[in-house]
Amino acid sequence: MCKVWEFVITGGPSAGKTTALSRLERVFSDKGYKVIIMPEVATQVILSGFNSKELSVDDFQRVIIERGINSEETLRKVVNKFKKDVVVFYDRGILDSKAYMSNESFVRILKENGLSEITVRDSYDAVFHLVTAAIGAENAYTTENNKARMENVEQAREKDKKTRDAWIGHSHMRVIDNSTGFKEKIDRLIKEVFAVMGVPVPVEIERKFLIKRPTIEQLQINECVKSQIVQTYLKRNDPEVERRIRQRGIDGNFTYYYTEKKVKTSISRDEVERRISKDEYISLLTEGIAAIRKERYCFFYENQYFELDIYPDWENEAILEIELTQENQEIKFPDWITVIKEVTGDPKYKNANLAK
């Protein structure tokens, strides 16, 4: 059976998604993958005659959400029948609708379709957010290449933030900003996609910090998205390879993962991760040797994606992590985070040791 990856390419207006998807299709086809590009549902709906001014916000977004759900369900029924590995790129995903409606309405529509926000969000392997040209590349911002786009610069910036924030909580999210030229921006995107897939070598660069434990008020004010995690470490078949399974979600809605890690340097390591079924997760629990529970809060700051872990028996401290693409990459911390010290590579703060 072929292997299938599902990636969302999202972002603000005039972020370069059309060009990015074209490049991604060409690059991955040349690498021998079957590439499927799923077009943006919202643009299809608008161009087919639906007018957002003639419907309520909820009714208009319902059309988009339910059409997206149906398209993805159909794709998943047949995509693993190809004879080669498949990479699916979605031009936006279902959670993008959150940027255009209330969270309550979004959750209600999903529930009416038998889904939850968490299970929909985590059905994709990774999410790549391209920052609108209206932030950092204002001279390149245009509405001419999309008849469905109507936002001015300020509106584009607002939509960019709302779209980005809709995906907070996903375990593999990357933000591609305008700190370089446009060609380099797309090159960085392609590099990030390959990194998530582990092609040619799956390298994760992670830095970890011991911080003062934030208050609940600070977490709420800064719009951190909460997940509950149970991480179980398994018997090792290879002494150099760490094996673990993870249950992640909230309010009874969980997704499950199997991960293998091998350390390369103090801050980089080979990592291979795949989603597994609940039944496979339960079966692998029999190999467990230690487990740890924690609450994870995800948030953005300066286009950086942080994950903050709070352990139930830690009163004053917490762990803050960030994944990087370069070992010397600068990290900017928000003012509500108080760093005590960096603990990257310190075995005392490894989850595997904390679990023991």
For residues 203 and 270, the answer to whether their CB atoms sit within 8 Å is: yes
Instruction: Taking residues 274-303, report their average pLDDT.
Output: 92
Residues 234 and 167 placed together within one structural domain of the fold: no
Query: What span, in angstroms and rounded, lies between the C-alpha atoms of 355 and 77?
Result: 38
Instruction: Taking residues 25-47, report their average pLDDT.
Output: 89
Position 80, amino acid: N
Up-side HSE of residue 270: CA atoms within 13 Å toward CB? Answer: 10
Residues 86 and 179 placed together within one structural domain of the fold: yes
Instruction: Taking residues 329-354, report their average pLDDT.
Output: 93
Residues 10 and 80 placed together within one structural domain of the fold: yes
Residues 32 and 175 placed together within one structural domain of the fold: yes
Residues 176 and 221 placed together within one structural domain of the fold: no
pLDDT band at 216 (very low <50, low <70, confident <90, very high): very high
**What is the per-residue burial (b if ≥16 Cβ within 10 Å, else e) of 147-171?**
eebebeeeebbbbbeebbbbbbbbb
* pLDDT over 90 at 239, yes or no: no
Residues 242 and 340 placed together within one structural domain of the fold: yes
Q: What is the pLDDT of residue 337?
A: 97
Select the highest-mean-pLDDT range: 49-63, 137-151, 190-204: 49-63
Kindly give the interhelix angle for 17-30 and 182-197, rounded to the nearest 10 degrees. 50
What mean pLDDT is reported for the chain? 89
Calculate ∠ Cα 277-245-216, nearest 5°: 105
Instruction: Taking residues 99-110, report their average pLDDT.
Output: 95
Q: What is the pLDDT of residue 202?
A: 43
Q: What is the pLDDT of residue 203?
A: 53
197, 213, 248: which is the final residue of a domain? 197
Is 356 or 212 the better-scoring residue by pLDDT?
212
* pLDDT over 80 at 200, yes or no: no
Q: What is the pLDDT of residue 232?
A: 96
* pLDDT over 80 at 267, yes or no: no
pLDDT band at 140 (very low <50, low <70, confident <90, very high): confident
CATH number for the domain that contains residue 249: 2.40.320.10
Residue count of the chain: 356
Q: What is the pLDDT of residue 149?
A: 53
* pLDDT over 90 at 285, yes or no: yes
Residues 12 and 157 placed together within one structural domain of the fold: yes
Residues 227 and 281 placed together within one structural domain of the fold: yes
Residue closest to 65 by CA, chosen among 101, 110, 105, 102: 110
Q: What is the pLDDT of residue 201?
A: 44
Residues 236 and 164 placed together within one structural domain of the fold: no
Residues 18 and 76 placed together within one structural domain of the fold: yes
Q: What is the pLDDT of residue 274?
A: 78
pLDDT band at 145 (very low <50, low <70, confident <90, very high): low
Lowest-confidence pick of 61-70, 127-136, 249-258, 315-324: 249-258
Counting the structural domains of the chain, the total is 2
Lowest-confidence pick of 46-55, 247-256, 267-276: 267-276
Distances (CA, A) of 104 to 93, 101, 298, 313: 18, 8, 20, 33
pLDDT band at 126 (very low <50, low <70, confident <90, very high): very high
Lowest-confidence pick of 157-166, 240-249, 271-280, 317-326: 271-280
CATH number for the domain that contains residue 151: 3.40.50.300
Residues 32 and 164 placed together within one structural domain of the fold: yes
* pLDDT over 80 at 5, yes or no: yes
* Full-model pTM: 0.74
Lowest-confidence pick of 22-36, 266-280, 318-332: 266-280
Is 224 or 273 the better-scoring residue by pLDDT?
224
Query: What span, in angstroms and rounded, lies between the C-alpha atoms of 284 and 233?
Result: 10
153, 171, 197: which is the final residue of a domain? 197
Q: What is the pLDDT of residue 79?
A: 92
Instruction: Taking residues 147-173, report their average pLDDT.
Output: 87
pLDDT digits (tens, 9 = 90+) for 340-350: 999 998 999 98
* pLDDT over 70 at 354, yes or no: yes
179, 197, 215: which is the final residue of a domain? 197
Percent of the chain topping pLDDT 70: 94
Residues 273 and 191 placed together within one structural domain of the fold: no
By residue range, what is the domain housing residue 177? Answer: 4-197
* pLDDT over 60 at 146, yes or no: no
Query: What span, in angstroms and rounded, lies between the C-alpha atoms of 41 and 10?
Result: 12
